[in-house]
Structure 1
Amino acid sequence: MLEVCELNVAYGESNVIRDLSLRVAPNEALAIMGRNGMGKTTLLKSLIGLLPARAGSIRLDGADITKLPSYQRVAQGLAFVPQGRMVFPLLTVEQNILSGAAKSGHRTVPDDIYRFFPVLEDMKQRRAGNLSGGQQQMLALARALISRPRVLILDEPTEGLQPSIIEEIAQTLNLLRAERGFAIVVSEQVLSFALDLADRFLVIDRGRIVHDAARSNLDQDKVRSFLTV
């Protein structure tokens, strides 16, 4: 379980995340939704350790990881796919995937990675910079998943992707979660993608959680009202 308690995160003197608390159960998919500038990316960067917490705590399966650097959080079981994918454009697909294997020790790409992302096997010797946006997103996911995370953190994974690719990624993540049993925390603005993936929805506004609902009783119109400018 990932537990965040009264978290505060700041840029300089500006407090962006304010007394935020949440829990993510094992195998649960949690969507964090909200308009741009409301704190979604700041929250996810704080979870993975790219931004320090000013106050509060982050715990993974009971262990306090609040002060651990990012690489140690990855070793503990977190994985992060940043907004914009951030693949290494001059490395091959295979080299990119293996760059995420420090914890697992893989020297070759496991068969199940290519089973879930067959297009990457076909292109494994191609430079990542020559892939389409959808292929690069699949590559970023594969690089994160090779570490066998307990919690996969995704920041705006549908950004710039066409609808058919968005649907394919949601289906693949659902299959992976069912097979591997990891949790997902996803920052998202595309409600249709979140509905395909998430069990529970949080809406963040000015650094605070203002709405929390399970998919089974989600008021979609209310969530959309938080997403409109």
Structure 2
Amino acid sequence: MFQIENLNAGYGESQVLRDVSFGVAPRESVAVMGRNGMGKTTLLKALIGMLPARSGSIRLEGRELAGLESYQRVRSGLAFVPQGRMIFPFLTVEQNILAGAGERGARTVPEYLYRFFPVLKEMRARKGGNLSGGQQQQLAIARALMSEPKVLILDEPTEGIQPSIIKDIARVLNELRRERGFAVVVSEQMLSFALDLADRFLVIDRGRIVHEEARETLDQDKVRSFLAV
């Protein structure tokens, strides 16, 4: 459904991604793992259009996205939760979520979002900047889901979040993708979180995919060796 082929991207004269290729099936969750500086965030920014691809293909259900602007990719079915969450601190929780609907201009938050994220319902009138890190991450995910994506892309979602909330987020994402039918692409350094969420693992090193394995057969020690500094 979501297919990336021979993707190359970088900044200025520096090339970061080198012929990256992988696919993601409907409802599948794929973790992209690697050390800092190996290309994880660059890859996700290239997928969503925040960084233009120099060459290669990004297709969703057969439609080429590589030449589109970010908002056009969102319309086509991608959603992105960036590193650091980037919620609107002076808007309420409910206003933040509704902002994710974009030009569709939804006036109410869908029932399922408050069902999966009950803390957001309790705090719907609170300013986003007054939430904890874990609550802000839930808010950022809920806002992204307002566009009803086919692929949800998350960049380092565990950063700055306490372990108990991390496990809750993995559980909720698994339940959501099964119920709502979207796939997940997540960049992550925390192997325990990725094991809770991902069906398949890709390891990126110096801008190339150097290892790929399903969770059922995953050699955790080998993955950890790629993550070690």
**Same topology, TM > 0.5:** yes
Aligned to 1:202: 202
Partner of 1:92: 92
Report percent identity of matched pairs: 72
SS at the partner of 1:79?
strand
**What root-mean-square deviation, in Å, do the aligned CA atoms of Structure 1 and Structure 2 show?**
0.7
Q: Counterpart of 2:102 in 1: which secondary structure? A: coil
Cα distance in structure 2, aligned partners of 1:77 and 1:142? 15
Provide the rounded CA distance (Å) in 2 between the counterparts of 1:103 and 1:152: 19
Q: Separation in 2 of the partners of 1:55 and 1:147? A: 27
**Aligned-partner Cα distance in 1 for 2:55–2:103:** 29
Say if 1:103 and 1:27 are closer, same or farther in 2 by CA, change over 3 A.
Answer: farther
Cα deviations across residues 83-114 of structure 1 (Å, max 9, x unaligned)? 00000000110010001012654211111110
| Corresponding residue for residue 114 of structure 1 | 114
Task: Give the corresponding residue for 2:61.
Answer: 61
**1:83 maps to 2:83:** yes
Unaligned runs of 5+ in 1: none
Task: Kindly state the Cα deviation for residue 169 of structure 1 after the two structures are TM-superposed.
Answer: 0.2
Q: 1:145 — aligned with what?
A: 145
Alignment CA distance shift 1:103-1:31 (3 Å): farther
1:16 corresponding residue in structure 2: 16
CA distance in 2, matches of 1:25, 1:178: 12
1:101 to 2:106 alignment: no
Aligned residues of 1:174 and 1:197 also touching (Cα < 8 A): yes
Q: Aligned AA for 1:60?
A: L
Cα deviation per residue 1:13-46 (whole Å; 9 max; x = unaligned)? 0000001111011111000000000000000000
Instruction: Give unpaired runs (5+ residues) of structure 2.
Output: none
- Residue correspondence of structure 1 range 112-191 to structure 2 within 5 A: 112-191=112-191
1:56 aligned counterpart, secondary structure? strand
Most deviating of 102-111 and 66-75: 102-111
Structure 1: distance between partners of 2:92 and 2:32:
32
